[in-house]
Structure 1
Amino acid sequence: MSRSLMEGRACKGAFMRPSFMRFLFLCGGLVWACSSSPPVGSTDLVATDVVVDDSSESDVSVETNDTGGDDSTPSDGGDVAEDTNSEDVSTSDVAEDLGSDLSSDAGSDVATEPEVVDDTPKKVLFLGNSYTAGNNLVGWVADLAIAAEYGPGLTTKGITYGGYMLQDHQHTPSTIETIQTGEWTHVVLQEQSTIPLIALGTMQFAASSLSFTIKQTGAVPVFFETWARREGNPLYETDLAGHTPESMQEALRNAYTLVTNANGGVYAPVGDAWEISLATHPDIPLHSGDGSHAAPAGTYLAACVFFSLLTGQSPVGIELWPESLTEQEAFALQTVAHETVQAQE
């Protein structure tokens, strides 16, 4: 995997104001003219150190506490059953440098607002289950920031337990204590994958409680919209998911939008990006063999969504991707991720 950066394009414009000439014809032998010519108006990148505790290539401390990589069995004995196995780039228009005076009859000054740059280091805590733990999503988000030489720095930590619901995190004292340290700028909340379909009220209550705790520390709650099962998954033989991936994704989208708006949070459209990618790049498999969890490509797409959302930068051109992907496939997933995030802004 290569780790060089692609330089972004810069927009450049020239603002010039022409001189104006006004004149009056002779009246009684008098001619006068006037003209005016107003004057033309007009980070160091620091790679943040992260702590590694899993001897992996990622420089991130990830407290997974996962029980086998599944998003399957809620710890409270609930009856939610899940499998247990663990193009083209849309760019901004570049302003043309006309290289010539633009005529105007207004004569007013052109004011340009200074660019607002968010240089706050991002410290992100992920709460979830195997959907978050799988393929080291948390580590990929931080690694993308390092590869992109994201100046303010971005560090991540994950607390994940197999099959956990947000309700379980809400009732785990060590998780609450970790949130209350106050060291986080964002806390990502990932619900167990079928709870939005069968127990939305449970999700809403837990999301509200966790968001209250998060916001008390000054951090921002981020809601991780998960993805629908692969077509043909046994779940679609039931009435839980509407029988199709499209209907399941719509239900997930509605649920995560609801809790995001209710709690003043940020919506992370991972599931939306998956849906778009599966429609436009069906040759890139996002699901693992169980049709529920993420394959490396699916995790990478999710990581690109979080990178774009958290930093405000495009992942397109970052030369870091899983070995199982080609450069063209990585580029396609980067593009889908960024355009999906941009579409919701």
Structure 2
Amino acid sequence: MRIVTKLGWIALLLALGSPAIAAEPVVEPHHVLMVGNSLTYTYNIPAILARFAAETDRELTLKTHFAGGKDLTWHWSNARKTAGLTAAQVIEQGDFDLVILQDSSRRSLSAESREEFVQVTKEYQQLAAKKSTRLLFYMGFLRNEKFPEDQVQTLDAMYTDQADALGISCAPVALAFQRCHQERPDLALLDNRTDGKYALNKTGTHQSPFGSYLAACTIYAALYDRSPVGLEFRAAFDQKKEVTFEKEDTAAAQDIAWRTWQAWKKRQQQGS
């Protein structure tokens, strides 16, 4: 009886304190490559992330492989004119801790293009594994100011299912945009809004400066698994000029980004 009791206590102590079952610590990246298009470079999301990192005393070097209107398939096998390398070559020749992949906003519109997404991201994952580099999806937002539920669900499933299949994570920017639209419809997230706070009334459907800020907050949450709530930097970049926002609005973006990331992570952990 004493032996059983002693073993029981040992099992309990192991269950409570064993490193083998403790949550794995987040390995913070230092050298990051961002692959994408205007959904990332408009109003300079990388620069916002760099300011967030500097504010929190984090070492973060960001490199980019951007081309307007292009998807991950194009990036894989086509060289940017200025860089002369494909995304695959940049990853192969680089020394990155993490590669952030942002695909075309239209990718989820057909079963054929969704299957192409599955295939090309497998190639990125195989190369990343060879280089001991992690991947992170950036779930690009819908270029539709109403953010319709059925389309958002399809986009979410495309990214989340493949993230599960590859064993990687995802910054659920599209879901943050949808949540923000529901909770703060007064805030213009796309640049073609004709009303709303920070509306630009432009032709096209890129993110507004505030949309870029919300996207950066969501990526920050996924990048570090840390809340962006309380970050003091409150701007996006139009060329080199800062476009600033009111504190109450950036606080809302930070809170929405954090809650969205937590909800997405919980779903992934539960296998849904």
Normalising by structure 1, we get a TM-score of 0.60
Asked if 1:333 corresponds to 2:250, the answer is: no
2:46 maps to 1:134: no
Q: Distance in 2 between matches of 1:128 and 1:109?
A: 47
**Following TM superposition, by how much is the alpha carbon of 1:280 offset from its aligned partner in structure 2, in angstroms?**
0.4
Structure 1 position 255 matched with structure 2 position 158: yes
What TM-score comes out, normalization by structure 2 length?
0.76
Q: 1:216 aligns with which of 107, 113, 130?
A: 130
Query: How many Å apart are 1:222 and its aligned residue?
Result: 1.1
How much does 1:263 deviate? Answer: 2.0
1:246 is aligned to 2:160: no
Residue aligned with 2:233, SS: coil
SS of the residue corresponding to residue 135 of structure 1 reads coil
2:35 match: secondary structure: strand
Structure 1 residues 127-166: aligned runs within 5 Å: 127-150=35-58, 153-166=59-72
The reply on whether 1:167 has 2:73 as its aligned counterpart is yes
Partner of 2:189: 286
Q: Is the 8 A contact 1:123 1:155 kept in 2?
A: yes
In the alignment, the residues of structure 2 paired with residue 138 and residue 129 of structure 1 have an alpha-carbon distance, to the nearest angstrom, of: 12
Unaligned 5+ segments in structure 2 are: 1-11, 80-84, 193-202, 236-242, 266-272
How far apart are 1:324 and its partner, in Å? 3.8
Moved more, 115-124 or 173-182: 115-124
Code of the residue aligned with 1:167 in structure 2: it is T
Distance 1:141 1:217, change over 3 A: same
> Percent identity, aligned pairs only?
28
Residue aligning to 1:6: none
Q: How many equivalent pairs are there?
A: 225
Aligned equivalent of 1:320, options 209, 228, 233: 233
Larger radius of gyration: 1
Query: As a proportion of its length, which structure holds more helix?
Result: 2
The residue that corresponds to 1:310 in the other structure is: 223
Match of 2:118 among 204, 208, 216: 204
1:229 Cα deviation from its structure 2 partner: 2.7
State how far apart, in whole Å, the 1-side matches of 2:142 and 2:32 are: 25
Cα shift at 1:117:
5.5
Deviation at 1:321, TM superposition (A): 1.1
1:193 partnered with 2:105: yes
Corresponding letter in the other structure for 1:162:
G
Distance 1:231 1:343 in 2: 22
The 5 Å alignment of 1:25-64 reads none
For residues 14-58 of structure 1, the C-alpha deviation after alignment (integer angstroms, 9 at most, x for no partner) is xxxxxxxxxxxxxxxxxxxxxxxxxxxxxxxxxxxxxxxxxxxxx
Q: Hey, what's the Cα distance between the residues in 1 that align with 2:96 and 2:106?
A: 28
Local SS of the residue matching 2:43: helix
Match of 2:169 in 1: 266
- Which ranges of structure 1 fall in alignment gaps of 5 or more residues? 1-107, 233-243
Q: Secondary structure at the match of 1:180?
A: helix
CA RMSD of aligned residues (A): 2.3
Does the aligned pair in 1 maintain the 2:28–2:224 contact within 8 Å? Answer: no
Contact 2:99–2:134 (Cα < 8 Å) also in 1: yes
Whole-angstrom CA distance in 2 between matches of 1:285 and 1:188: 25
Cα shift at 1:228: 1.9
Q: Deviations over 1:295-338 (max 9, x none)?
A: 01111111111111111221111110113410000000011111
